Structure 1
Amino acid sequence: MGTENVLRNLQLVDGRIMDISIQDGIITAITPPGQVEGETELDCSGLYVSSGWIDLHVHAVPELNPYGDDIDEIGVKQGVTTLVDAGSRGADRIGDLYTASLKADTQLFALLNISRIGLERTDELSQLEWIDLAKAREAAASYPEFIVGLKARISQSVVKDSGIQPLLLARTLSEETKLPLMVHIGSAPPSISEVLELLQPGDVITHYLNGKSNNLFHEDGTPLQGLLDAIARGVHLDVGHGTASFSFRVAEQAKTAGIALNTISTDIYRGNRLNGPVYSISNVLTKFLYLGYSLEEVIRAVTSSAAAWLGKPELGQIRVGHQANLTMFALKKGEKQLKDSEGDIRVAQYYIEAKGVFTNGSLITS
């Protein structure tokens, strides 16, 4: 038998204080403090614990520019145990990303870019011949456990003169592969109403809180009817903060309108990690605390809600008999300056700080 590790005095987001015992990477007990002993004990007083954070929208291919970064740099080093690369690779090189994922401490899944070239260029849907449905189907069949969906970046700078046609092709590919679509929204054309009409249950709108003119809210802050219809039929909303896709003003409109918070993701890559406005997943989560969401709601958006969309609910649970997949974090009191993608600055009085993860049988500190 391996060493029994006990993480002592961890606080769950519901306020309970617990010890968590782990042996050979498996959770063996979750008890009130002091009821179990271990060969190795770590006092975690003052820290919260949740199931491992899941970031549903990142760019984890370091050699790509501008949208690239190292898997573990935006994964376990940030308190994230599971990443979903959102379309960095298409069918041409998805195998390279799969191979890289096997060497990382962070669990990585991928959304296959419907353009076979992926983000080798940032106008990857401007030429329809780059959307090779046969090659994409072959890629999806070759990596069924790794590829969890399809990615289509449907904004003017990406599609150029192709209009809505790439999304129509993506819809066809989704139906053929039974994989959901994550659709990036941004500047028109195509218009947001054209995009919304094509989305089906389980599909994802990422960047739903962007402040561009082609967004999901009227000028008075009320949601478009097309957004309400999409939500009603089961379309999933994902933050995808990124460099240009999160507005405090729009986020406040969404909250006022009662639009449910589904998943919080970063759309992180080297540039917006080092230079902002993303910096880290902790920074993005803090923005939603500032907006008035509870700690429980914020953490749910990177744990159980993301795990449910992935079809892997066990990733969003802390349970005896399951693999230990944990994120430890602090909730600190103090002023924290927060900037959105529009340059709007707000000051939070509390902030979240990742402290480490327990994954793959070992503790990794942030």
Structure 2
Amino acid sequence: MGIVLRSMKRLNGQVSDIVIDEGKIAAIVPPGTGEGEVVAEGGYVSSGWIDMHVHAFPTFKPYGDAIDEIGVKQGVTTIVDAGSCGADRIGELREAGRRSVTRLLAFLNVSRIGLARIDELSRPEWIDEAAVREAALAYPDFIVGLKARISRSVVKELGIEPLRLARQFSAATGLPLMVHIGSGPPAIGDVMALLARGDIVTHYLNGKANNLFDAQGRPLPALTDAVARGVHLDVGHGSASFSFRVAEQARAAGVPPHTISTDIYERNRLEGPVFSLADVMSKFLDLGYGLREVVGAVTVNAAAWLGRPELAELSVGGDANLTVFEVKQGGKRLTDSEGETRTASTYIQAKGAVIHGSYFAC
């Protein structure tokens, strides 16, 4: 006998019992009729949430966290480490993922040292094409792309050159880029010009001077041109990269995120302003996005970019990869990366996750 999620509301409004057996969705039946051990009752259910930007290599303090702490314990079934490790240590991250419940994928930092230092793209000898190629060949089912953090404190005197090299490595490996943007130089226009269809720009809603919106809140041509050619927009909230003000400008201009992600690690999980994927999702509800849009940005959209549409399925016979959550009413304080705090009247709270045939309560 399997387990049952009782009286779960799906995003299409239907309320059903979901019966799970041997890791699969065995049945979706009228509420109250599913047979098995009831492990959760009431609330919403979706395919498992995917966080496209986390840091899950705790060795690199303070920019790391335990995989399951930012995964199933927060209702997230799949996390994608965003370049914590380069070629030198990506194998260690892969092995840690195998020991965890949460599904772990990764972007490979184009610097072989990864986040062992936070100026990892400041020395040419660390940007090693042979090492990138070797790692990409060694872990093809684990590495989903290449990560380059292109901001002043990371690249220093090398300027835009690390991104030019990353573009070459992308062509050599067939892997897309995730590019972190922040304080310049390099100028944001120069960074965006090097991004191609299928690449990701993360931190696109940051409030720094070198951001993607002008003084009147209008998207720069560099942003609109990038979107037109198929560049993917990711939130990557983090400790310094999400502004309510800029997010409002983006919504008003019709430039929504393709994926909502946290850039979470231990400190900003425990002390804020990130706390959890649910909290970051709640900020977008408060900005006026609909529930389906918000959940879609951590399920369907993320799974599509990963080329793993099965991660967004919720159907009989499919893998039981699910998130159970509530949409709650009441004042919840939400703070952006610039210290602005708002009180949301409606917010999302994770209740649990189903993965590998088991239910994990949050």
The alignment's TM-score, normalised by the length of structure 2, stands at 0.99
Q: Displacement, 1:37?
A: 3.6
Residue of 151, 157, 160 corresponding to 2:156: 160
* Residues 8-50 of structure 1, C-alpha deviations (whole Å, 9 max, x = no match): 100012221111111101111122324x4423234512x1000
| Runs of at least 4 residues off by over 6 Å | none
Q: Are 1:111 and 2:107 matched, yes or no?
A: yes
In the alignment, which residue of structure 2 is the partner of 1:39?
Answer: 36
Shift of 1:319: 1.4
Q: Are residues 346 and 39 of structure 1, via their aligned partners in 2, closer, same or farther at CA, if it must alter by over 3 Å?
A: closer
Question: Within the alignment, does 1:57 sit opposite 2:53 as a pair?
Answer: yes
Q: Describe the superposition over 1:72-115 as per-residue Cα deviations: whole angstroms up to 9, x where unpaired.
A: 00000000000000000000010000010000000000100000
TM-score (norm 1): 0.98
Determine the C-alpha separation between the residues in 1 that align with 2:39 and 2:339: 41
Indicate yes or no: 2:91 matched with 1:95.
yes
Q: Please say if 1:304 is aligned against 2:312.
A: no
Q: Distance in 2 between matches of 1:176 and 1:69?
A: 31
Distance (whole Å) between structure 2 residues aligned to residue 129 and residue 104 of structure 1: 33
> Is residue 319 of structure 1 aligned with residue 315 of structure 2?
yes
Counterparts of 1:201-280 in structure 2, within 5 Å, are 201-280=197-276
What secondary structure, in the 3-state scheme, does the structure 2 residue paired with 1:287 have?
Answer: helix
| Structure 2 counterpart SS, 1:351 | strand
SS state of the match for residue 153, structure 1?
strand
Q: CA deviation at 1:167?
A: 0.2
**Alignment-derived partner of residue 283 in structure 2:** 287
1:168-227 superposed Cα distances (whole Å, 9 cap, x missing partner): 000000001000000000000000000111000000000000000000001101100111
Q: 3-state SS of the aligned residue for 1:289?
A: helix
SS of residue in 2 equivalent to 1:10: strand
Structure 1, unaligned stretches of length 5 or more?
none
The 10-residue stretch of structure 1 (13-22 or 274-283) with the greater mean CA deviation from structure 2: 13-22
Structure 2: unaligned runs, 5 residues or longer: none
State the SS of the aligned residue for 2:84: coil
Q: 1:12 aligns with which of 1, 10, 13?
A: 10
Distance 1:64 1:277 in 2: 20
The 8 Å contact of residues 65 and 265 in structure 2, kept in 1 or not, is answered as yes
**1:21 paired residue number:** 19
Q: Which amino acid in structure 2 is aligned with residue 230 of structure 1?
A: A
- Give secondary structure in 1 for the equivalent of 2:284: helix
d(CA) in 2 for partners of 1:43, 1:181:
39
Name the SS of the counterpart of 2:275 in structure 1. coil
* Cα contact 2:3–2:19 (8 A) shared by 1: yes
Deviation digits for residues 237-277 of structure 1 (CA, Å, limit 9, x no counterpart): 00000000000000000000001321000000011111110
- Is contact 2:18-2:34 (8 Å) kept? no
Matches within 5 A, 1:76-95: 76-95=72-91
Equivalent positions of 1:111-150 (< 5 A) are 111-150=107-146
* Cross-structure match for 2:328: 332
Alignment of structure 1 residues 60-79 onto 2, 5 Å: 60-79=56-75
Q: Residue type matched to 1:54 in 2? A: I
- How many residues of Structure 1 are paired with residues of Structure 2 in the alignment? 362
SS across alignment from 2:4:
strand
Distance 1:181 1:37 in 2: 44
1:173 and 2:164 are equivalent in the alignment: no
Supply the RMSD in Å over aligned alpha carbons: 0.9
